[in-house]
Amino acid sequence: MKVKIDYDLCMGDRNCSKVCPDVFEYDEDQLLSRVIVDDVPAHLEDLVRKAARECAPGAILIEED
């Protein structure tokens, strides 16, 4: 699985980094969340899906393998 953030939609509310801090981190300078892995480890895929579901503006884009 790969995951991206659409920065035009990201509201910077930090929910994704709270749900899955091993994949998302909050950039204090840009006030946006960032993806910090190239490929999501299998054991974190469900948390990434949860973060995407909880992203109010739908900024998290998942590409399944």
Give me the tens of pLDDT residue by residue for the chain, a chain 65 residues long: 999 999 999 999 999 999 999 999 999 999 999 999 999 999 999 999 999 999 999 999 999 98
Please report, for the chain, the start and end positions of each structural domain, with discontinuous segments joined by +: 2-63
Residues 6 and 25 sit within 8 Å (Cβ to Cβ): no
Beta 60-63 vs 24-27: how paired, if at all? unpaired
pTM, full prediction: 0.92
CATH architecture of 2-63: 2-Layer Sandwich (3.30)
At 64, list the tokens: 């399944």
